[in-house]
Structure 1
Amino acid sequence: MRLSSHITPHRELAEARWLHSPAAPPAAGHGGFTAQLLDAAVLTQAPARSDRARAADWALRVCRAGQLRPLGPVPRLLALALTAQAPAAAENGLGERDQLAYMCGLTTRELTHVLDLLVDAGFLQSWQFDPSTEDAVWSLATPDHPTAY
């Protein structure tokens, strides 16, 4: 999950009862740690190995796109979220602003900044917040993104 050595994500996931770890998160520069996911929805799912491999391949292809390589993990995560929410071969995507920000661990102001970064990088053609619903509306620069399943 690449939570890094920052304690905040670990603590938030533990407080939400999504994660249990008998040990503290590793110090910066050290190896990983063991944790148990506690979310009931995750625990009851049993995707086949081929499904997991296909989903991981899809995520890697999106996040390794040439224009995203120089960006950090947060813009790549948002790019993955936007791509996953846009219908296959669609020119536009639509999502709740607050939900997008929450999924990527961003504030609304940070979401605006990262969306601008994705436009500057050429991943998004454009984006805007719908004035009536405050939903985020975006156009992928290349709408022929990979299909997850």
Structure 2
Amino acid sequence: MLLALTRDRSGRAWRLADTCAACAAATSNTAVVPDTLSGSLRPHASPGPPPPARRSHAGVQERERVREMLTYLGTALPRFTSPAARLLAVQCALRADTRAHVRLSAGLLRGMRLRQNRDVWLELAHAGWLELPDVRTLPWQVRLLDATVLDQAPGRRTRCRAADWALRPVPLVLPATAPALRLTALVLAAHTGARPEHSTDMDILTRLCGHSPQQTGELLDRLVTTRTLRAWHHNRETDAVFWQLPQPQARTPT
């Protein structure tokens, strides 16, 4: 298709339209508009996946959203809120709409093993953080009582992507296991950067997980045992916790 400029018989009006080369040649008083230099050098959009740099940037944004939400919930929820309740609160807060309403599908509830766990919902309801949902209908409709959730940024679509990342926090993805271990892995993943060794304060780690330092150390040992972590160390002088991820295994030639 070409961009053609056609003049009417009086010469006082012009019409710009897309047409094929044959039609442009057969139409009188018509000239083809040539491509400009900037247009000829403009790269064509690729239908394929985004480049790796863009994908990694999106992962960084999702990690930041989850880290911010974990930090907020570390102060909004009672000190020793259970790990299962914290995992549920992360999903509800990130998926809430502008009226603080959340719709939770049956698949999401089954994947988090929360559909039959009424104690977790009661825990957040007793803390005044949400209203108990009507479990007779699906998807579950939940209303959050935390007004701060309404002031979240960025938009809901971006936050929903962060909620999905929180279910599979790369690079510390764990199979279905105890909520305490999954929450610890999520907090570590939210504080994992591009360096070979990663760190945060033990106080931050215990506050976001709702554990004591001794419990946190035991959970970190279990992550090493399951090879989710390569190693970890607590510097008691600075109170910093350092951890290393397993090295990716190189492929052996067949």
Q: Give the TM-score normalised by structure 1.
A: 0.69
- Report how far residue 142 of structure 1 moved: 5.3
- Report how far residue 114 of structure 1 moved: 0.5
Cα distance in 2, alignment partners of residues 9 and 108 from structure 1: 24
Aligned match of 1:2 in 85, 88, 97?
Answer: 88
Paired position in structure 2 for 1:59: 166
C-alpha contact 2:172 2:186 (8 A) present in aligned 1: no
How many corresponding residue pairs?
A: 130
Would you say 1:110 and 2:215 are equivalent positions?
yes
SS across alignment from 1:137: strand
Would you say 1:90 and 2:190 are equivalent positions?
no
2:165 maps to amino acid: W
C-alpha contact 1:123 1:142 (8 A) present in aligned 2: no
Aligned match of 1:47 in 154, 173, 178?
Answer: 154
Which structure's CA Rg is the greater one? 2
Alignment of 1:111-130 (within 5 A): 111-130=216-235
SS across alignment from 1:118: helix
Segments of structure 2 that go 5 or more residues without pairing to the other structure are 1-86, 90-116, 249-254
- Report how far residue 90 of structure 1 moved: 2.2
C-alpha contact 2:170 2:189 (8 A) present in aligned 1: no
Identity of aligned residues (%): 31
Cα distance in 2, alignment partners of residues 90 and 65 from structure 1: 15
Paired position in structure 1 for 2:180: 74
C-alpha contact 1:63 1:79 (8 A) present in aligned 2: no
Cα distance in 2, alignment partners of residues 52 and 71 from structure 1: 25
Cα distance in 1, alignment partners of residues 167 and 230 from structure 2: 21
SS across alignment from 1:141: coil
- Report how far residue 54 of structure 1 moved: 2.1
| Structure with more relative contact order (C-alpha pairs < 8 Å, separation 6 or more) | 1
Segments of structure 1 that go 5 or more residues without pairing to the other structure are 144-149
Aligned match of 2:144 in 30, 33, 36?
Answer: 36
Paired position in structure 2 for 1:146: none
C-alpha contact 2:223 2:229 (8 A) present in aligned 1: yes
1:100 maps to amino acid: L
Q: Give the TM-score normalised by structure 2.
A: 0.43
Paired position in structure 1 for 2:68: none
